[in-house]
């Protein structure tokens, strides 16, 4: 039998065997057919790729090279806030870029740059696998691909754009040298601070020409390429600063791995702190702060990335209202700036800063922010910073958590606004994760006191215990649902001091929390961009990303939120720490806050129409360390009830003037505002109880706003629509006393007379002050010298000797002249 005859016989046998198979099996293709089809498809794909590679030319540079300005508008869609976006870039040749800079960029962005052919298939597969397996979204683009995207294409994320990127990257790698590609990448990349290209970045971050960059500086600029705005250590949140430093370390490790740097040199390399951001032109006054808030919203919500936004060409209609913005700046000037005298008091009246934000409760619209006096002089947006503790403005969150928890007080009673606690100063907190015994303001003992009364007086010992009783994990969860970001420092249930406001949300974050309370527990995250359009897009279509939908979510049930508001109305009362806000002349609720060593002071409050926060602090402009407020404007102590409340009242009076006076429509859950009916009537004390008169609650005074509490002042049925410019604080029914901050006092009297204690109202226990106390104001959960230190204190300790208020001859700058209240 010949060879050909044998093959024919085998084929015939296979055909006969296949005919013998069932019909369904005969319909399936054989492995030979499958293999042939796969090879055919592969050959077609390779051929198509080869044809495309030949016929697709290198395109012209994209429009980013001639980018336009961004136009920012107020909420009316007509009035211009600012124009920004002109590309800040100066191209330089590869010979001017230090070798260490090139090596750092390769180590950070593409360690196979000098070996790959423009694309890295292994890197792309690895990045795809890491993304699919939950290790985070990762990119596999080479430096050549990123250069192609920056210079020839757009930032759109489509399969078509990615395919063109691969083809052009291969062609660019074939037609141009590695040095030319690297120079093009470094000249087109965005580094943050409005700087495009390595030359502009060197100027923006270190004030030097690119040729003068050192190795550590080069490594930091290379680290910035991954997240330019977020990794700017001068303006980053604490979490992003840690990420930036980790990326810098990663870059140096890569230089060692690739042989660019020895292990010894690596060990001796210290982080090169960049210079402070320099103000952009055209952003003077309040404009720069508003632009910063709008940009932060777009980038944080991934509407646009930083590079696309900074390249320009967008018309951005914000939610800011010009009259409210002007009123905020005017209130800070009238109520604080005019009181400061840096020439006479350089040690205390310099570097005083204000952070503020105003949010519409029913929508979450940010209508105004205060980030500083002038962006051209202070290019830091204090409204967005997250490094100031909020003190007792956190106590409403403690109360809300207690009302929604299954926790009980020490005597087994359910937590309501009328549950009684021991208000003894420095009473050790029981069952907390860390030892804690916070003092009350001026070390006053309040004895048995309800949670309502403790909020009005801002009694630290009560709310430190109540937060533990509610469950610190539940308190944290409540804070998150109300709007405090999860990653802010100090929001740690492993530390008992969390209950008194060691968390550091921004003024805008805090305004969102209080707006939720004003909106009966329905949360709308603050938002600041109403419309996004492309400016002169030209003949080619341009995709405009959609803005996030503004939908609410239930953070608290209405009965709980309204019960908290009911209590916070009493804080804005004659005996409350927010008494200065009575000058608004309309129903209001709020809470003051003052932190350890008087490092910050706050007032967060709201009417049914508007929620606003005001924070006050001092910061060294060179080291950025926090400095005490004690001595500011000549006063021994600055509480939240002083300048912050005055600024709040002046601003709210201005922007609400002429609007309808609305009362709070409160529907608190019945059990939340009644004392428990079982168990003992008072909380057992753990230290010697203070002398206190019996608490006999009178009949509630009639109000115009739902179910009121027994501890607050009546709200007038028809208050005057226009509040006085300078608020006063009442010291008792029918009497008023001037705000002590406004009182003219002869400086440096020989023997200051301490303020006398007022006669308490019938519903308040008589507090007992300890005469031997010389402790300064300590409100949020920090320790006194005699207690175990809390490990979660402020990152910037006060200067030596600042733990005691200076003797200025003036009383504390508080809202109540008779009883300096805890803030």
**Cα distance between residue 10 and residue 24, in whole Å:** 23
d(CA 353, CA 370): 10
pLDDT, residue 158, reads 61
Share of the chain above pLDDT 90, in %: 55
Question: Per-residue confidence at 773, pLDDT binned at 50, 70, 90?
Answer: very low
Q: Express each pLDDT in 227-277 by its tens digit.
A: 998 999 998 888 999 999 999 999 999 999 999 999 999 999 999 999 999
* Residue 53 CA: distances (Å) to CA of 122, 177, 353: 21, 18, 59
pLDDT digits (tens, 9 = 90+) for 531-544: 999 876 555 556 78
CA pair distance 650, 332, nearest whole angstrom: 9
How many other C-beta atoms lie within 10 A of the C-beta of residue 301?
Answer: 14
What mean pLDDT comes out for the span 296-325?
92
pLDDT value at residue 160: 58
The pLDDT of residue 807 is above 90: no
622-635 residue pLDDT tens: 888 999 999 999 99
Q: What is the pLDDT of residues 403-416, one digit of tens each?
A: 999 889 988 999 99
Residue 817 scores a pLDDT above 70: no
Buried b (16+ CB within 10 A) or exposed e, 787-812: eeebebbbeeebeeebbebbebbbbb
Q: What is the mean pLDDT of residues 643-670?
A: 96
pLDDT of residue 693: 33
- Kindly report the number of other CB atoms within 10 A of residue 164's CB atom: 18
Q: What is the mean pLDDT of residues 143-161?
A: 71
pLDDT at position 133 is 59
What pLDDT is stored for residue 818 in this prediction?
32
Q: What is the mean pLDDT of residues 195-210?
A: 93
In tens, the pLDDT along 88-129 reads: 778 889 999 999 999 999 999 999 999 887 777 776 666 556
Give 322-376 pLDDT, tens digit per residue. Answer: 999 999 999 999 999 999 999 999 999 999 999 999 999 999 999 999 999 999 8
pLDDT for residue 583 is more than 50: yes
Instruction: Pick the range with the lowest mean pLDDT from 39-48, 345-354, 431-440, 737-746.
Output: 737-746
Model pLDDT for residues 519-577, shown as the tens digit of each residue: 999 999 999 999 999 876 555 556 789 999 998 999 999 999 999 999 999 999 999 99
What pLDDT shows up at residue 563? 97
A 10 A CB-CB count for 267 gives 9
Q: How do residues 713-764 score in pLDDT, each as one tens digit?
A: 333 333 333 333 333 333 333 332 333 332 323 333 333 333 333 333 334 4
- pLDDT at residue 491 is higher than 80: yes
According to DSSP, the residues that pair with 449 across neighbouring strands are 421
Please indicate whether residue 354 or residue 131 has the higher confidence score (pLDDT): 354
Confidence category of residue 814, pLDDT binned at 50, 70, 90: very low
Would you say residue 382 has pLDDT above 60? yes
Task: Give dist(CA 508, CA 483) in Å, integer.
Answer: 10
pLDDT band at 710 (very low <50, low <70, confident <90, very high): very low
Q: Evaluate if pTM is beyond 0.85.
A: no
Task: For residue 48, name the pLDDT band (cuts at 50, 70, 90).
Answer: low
Mean pLDDT of all residues in the chain?
79
**For residue 692, what pLDDT is reported?**
34
Q: Is 60 left (phi over 0), alpha (psi -120 to 50) or beta?
A: beta
């Amino acid at each position: 039998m010949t060879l050909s005859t044998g093959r024919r016989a085998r084929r015939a046998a296979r055909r006969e065997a296949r005919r013998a198979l069932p019909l369904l099996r005969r319909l399936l293709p054989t492995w030979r057919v499958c293999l042939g089809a796969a090879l055919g498809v592969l050959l077609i794909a390779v051929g198509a790729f080869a044809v495309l590679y030949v016929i697709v030319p290198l395109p012209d540079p994209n429009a980013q090279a001639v980018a336009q300005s961004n136009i920012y508008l107020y909420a009316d869609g007509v009035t211009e806030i600012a124009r920004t976006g002109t590309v800040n870039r100066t191209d330089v040749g590869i010979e001017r870029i230090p070798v260490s800079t090139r090596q750092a960029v390769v180590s950070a962005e593409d360690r196979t740059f000098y070996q790959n052919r423009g694309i890295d298939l292994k890197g792309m597969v690895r990045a795809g696998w890491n993304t699919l397996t939950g290790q985070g979204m990762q990119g596999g683009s080479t430096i050549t691909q990123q250069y192609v995207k920056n210079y020839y294409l757009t930032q759109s994320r489509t399969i078509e754009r990615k395919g063109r990127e691969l083809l052009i990257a291969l062609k660019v790698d074939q037609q141009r040298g590695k040095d030319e590609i690297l120079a093009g990448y470094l000249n087109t990349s965005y580094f943050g601070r409005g700087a495009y290209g390595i030359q502009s970045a060197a100027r923006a971050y270190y004030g030097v020409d690119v040729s003068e960059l050192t190795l550590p500086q080069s490594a930091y600029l290379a680290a910035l390429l991954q997240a330019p705005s977020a990794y700017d250590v001068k303006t980053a949140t604490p979490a992003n600063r840690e990420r930036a430093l980790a990326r810098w370390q990663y870059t140096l490790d890569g230089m060692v791995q690739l042989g660019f740097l020895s292990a010894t040199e690596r060990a001796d390399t210290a982080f090169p702190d960049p210079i402070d951001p320099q103000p952009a032109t055209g952003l003077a006054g309040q404009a720069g702060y508003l632009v910063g808030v709008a940009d932060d919203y777009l980038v944080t919500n991934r509407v646009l990335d930083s590079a696309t936004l900074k390249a320009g060409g967008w018309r951005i209609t914000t939610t800011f209202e010009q009259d409210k913005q002007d009123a905020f700046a005017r209130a800070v000037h009238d109520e604080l700036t005019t009181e400061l005298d840096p020439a006479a008091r350089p040690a205390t009246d310099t570097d005083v800063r204000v952070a503020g934000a105003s949010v519409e409760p029913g929508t979450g619209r940010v209508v105004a922010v205060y980030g500083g006096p002038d962006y051209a002089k202070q290019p830091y947006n204090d409204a967005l910073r997250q490094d100031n503790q909020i003190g007792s403005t956190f106590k409403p969150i403690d109360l809300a958590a207690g009302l929604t928890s299954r926790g009980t007080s020490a005597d087994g009673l359910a937590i309501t606004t009328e549950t009684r606690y021991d208000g003894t100063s420095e009473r050790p907190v029981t069952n907390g994760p860390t030892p804690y015994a916070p003092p009350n303001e001026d070390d006053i003992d309040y004895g048995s006191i309800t949670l309502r009364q403790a909020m009005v007086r801002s009694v630290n010992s009560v709310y430190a215990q109540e937060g533990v009783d509610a469950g610190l994990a539940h308190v944290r969860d409540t804070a998150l649902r109300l709007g405090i970001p999860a990653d802010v420092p100090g929001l740690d249930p492993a530390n008992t001091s969390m209950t008194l406001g060691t968390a550091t949300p921004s003024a805008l974050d805090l305004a969102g929390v209080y707006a939720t309370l004003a909106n009966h527990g329905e949360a709308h995250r603050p938002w600041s961009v109403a419309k996004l359009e492309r400016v002169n897009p030209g003949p080619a279509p341009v995709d405009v990303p959609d803005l996030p939908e503004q939908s609410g979510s239930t953070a608290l049930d209405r009965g709980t939120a309204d019960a908290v508001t009911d209590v916070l109305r009493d804080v804005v009362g004659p005996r409350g720490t927010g008494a200065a806000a009575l000058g608004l002349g309309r129903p209001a609720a709020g809470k003051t806050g003052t932190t350890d060593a008087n490092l910050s002071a706050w007032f967060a409050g709201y009417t049914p129409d508007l929620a606003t926060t005001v924070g006050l602090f001092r910061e060294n402009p060179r080291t950025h360390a926090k400095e005490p407020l004690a001595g500011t404007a000549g006063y021994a102590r600055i509480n939240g009830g002083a300048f912050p409340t005055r600024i709040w009242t002046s601003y709210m009076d201005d922007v609400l003037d002429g609007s309808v006076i609305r009362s709070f429509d409160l529907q608190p859950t019945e059990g939340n505002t009644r004392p428990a009916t079982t168990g003992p009537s008072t909380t057992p004390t753990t230290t010697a109880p203070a002398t206190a008169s019996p608490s006999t609650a009178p009949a509630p005074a009639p109000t115009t706003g739902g179910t009121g509490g027994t501890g607050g002042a009546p709200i007038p049925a028809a208050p005057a629509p226009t509040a006085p410019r300078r608020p006063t604080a009442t010291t008792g029914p029918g009497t008023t006393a001037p705000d002590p901050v406004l009182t003219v006092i002869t400086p440096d009297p020989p023997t200051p007379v301490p303020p006398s204690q007022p006669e308490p109202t019938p519903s308040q226990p008589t507090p007992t002050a300890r005469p031997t106390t010389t402790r300064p104001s300590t409100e949020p959960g920090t320790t006194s010298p005699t207690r175990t230190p809390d490990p979660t204190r402020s990152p910037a300790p006060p200067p030596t000797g600042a733990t005691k208020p200076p003797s200025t001859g003036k009383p504390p700058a508080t809202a109540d002249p008779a009883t300096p209240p805890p803030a």
